[in-house]
Structure 1
Amino acid sequence: MTITLITGANKGLGYETARRLTELGQTVILGARDPERGRAAADALGIRFVQLDVTDDASVAASVADVQAHEGHIDTLINNAGIIGRAVAAEELTGSDAAAVFDTNVVSIVRMTSAFLPLLRKSPAPAVINVSSGMGSFTLTHDPDRVESTIAAPLYTASKAAVTMLTTQYAKALPGIRVNAADPGYTATDLNAHRGPQTVTEGTDAIVTLATEGPDAGTGRFIDRFGVVGW
């Protein structure tokens, strides 16, 4: 049975991914920063909760020890946790704003991947899935027919471009581990005040595809619910 750890999974895309993968028979570990919300979400799904702040080295190390003690390994790591940052004009952005967004959206993937590699390598078919965004795609953000071209969010979009490149580099650097990125698309979540036209189920299609495909499906890919994303 596939054991999957999802970060930032107490709501939105993370929660829906946890729900769907649990229904498909996977053993899902729900990671969340807030113990109360995380435990409530896990209890609602009948799965195990692990307290996990992806921006904190000690918290990540504690979560590794927790999973080691309970499951012994994981097959799939889904790096879902992310923030959009302060809603201010571009000229008002600060270095601190950038540090916060990149720490949560990008640095955390390095932190989580490095920490969980020993447990992933115990799996016969390990996989890492990074939740990126078409907002970080040159192709989509320059296409006037795409909603991605109508939005200016310098830090979030730059961080997601970094996530996708980090994915391709890890795919090259970690032979034997499938490392892929998913673009949920413009989905109604707290991140965009529920303005997105897609449901969370539609928004998790690409993540679920990557989390359920076979070990020979390929690595270093960036997909949405319709297929490969140009970037």
Structure 2
Amino acid sequence: MTTTLITGANKGLGFETARRLIAAGHTVYLGSRDAERGRRAAEQLGARAVVIDVTDDASVAAAVKTIEADGGLDVLINNAGIAGIEGETRDGAEIGAAAVTVDMMRPIVETNVFGVVRVTHAFLPLLQRSAAPVVVNVSSGLASLTKVSTPGTPAYAYLGVGYPVSKAAVNMITVQFAKAFPTMRINAVEPGYTATDLNGHTGTQTVEEGAEIIVRMAELDTDGPTGGYFDNAGTLPW
């Protein structure tokens, strides 16, 4: 039996990924900052609820103890993330490089970057005991320097700074952890522009479509790729 933890899983892509992996036979810990929302979502799916705030050391440590006591972990999906103020407007203009401040970026980086490092580091001892450990880091197409610097693409048209910076950092974290732990399958994925709370449900994909690559990479065998950056169509350019 494969045991999987998904952070930020009480709704959206995390919830759909949990549903799919449970159907595939995984024991899923549905991670949520809010205990009641997590409990309700877990009951709906047949998952196990665990409270985990990726920005809080004590919360993450408590989640590790809970999952360790129940037997361990095979798959970690770092899904929790925020867009912050990205995509909003100020005085009629989208907030981009000319208006971004450290205070705007700080909560995005704390959640999307430090959160991934905090959770991955905390669960490494459990993952290292697994016969087939896997880490999936949910990134974004906006993390691709190639795409963001190619005129005429949707990524090029996006003016925000904090969110792309945070996801580009997630890609680097993915590469460096994959090199450090060659027996693990550690990859970054781009779900696509999926309709979730993150973007006010303006995305052009369903959560079912967006979760496809997350599920696929969560089910890798020990000979699967590692240190890569993927979407549904294949490998993405850095």
What TM-score, normalized by structure 2, do the two folds share? 0.93
Q: Please state whether the residue corresponding to 2:218 is helix, strand or coil.
A: helix
Is 2:155 the counterpart of 1:156?
no
How many residue pairs were aligned? 230
Structure 1, unpaired ranges of 5+? none
Match of 1:32 in 2: 32
Does residue 1:74 correspond to 2:73, yes or no? Answer: yes
Secondary structure in structure 2 of the residue aligned to 1:81: coil
CA deviation map 1:41-94 (0-9, x unaligned) = 111001100000000000000000111112x21000000000001235234433
2:58 equivalent in structure 1: 58
| 2-structure distance, mates of 1:128, 1:35 | 24
Q: Report how far residue 151 of structure 1 moved.
A: 1.3
Q: CA deviation at 1:97?
A: 2.2
Root-mean-square deviation (CA), in Å? 1.2
Shift of 1:175: 2.3
Looking at structure 2, the residues matched to 145 and 43 of structure 1 have their Cα atoms a distance apart, in angstroms, of: 45
Unaligned 5+ residue runs, structure 2? 90-94
Query: What TM-score do you get using the length of structure 1 for normalisation?
Result: 0.96
Structure-2 separation of matches of 1:9 and 1:146: 30
Query: What is the distance in 1 between the residues matched to 2:232 and 2:21?
Result: 16
Secondary structure, aligned partner of 1:121: helix
Q: How far apart, CA to CA, are the structure 1 residues paired with 2:20 and 2:150?
A: 32
Amino acid aligned to 1:208: V
1:186 is aligned to: 193
Q: Offset at 1:143?
A: 3.2
- Is residue 2:108 matched to residue 1:109? no
Give distance in 2, aligned partners of 1:11 and 1:83: 13
1:83-138 CA-to-partner distances (Å, cap 9, x unmatched) read 00123523443322222111100111110111001111110010111000011101
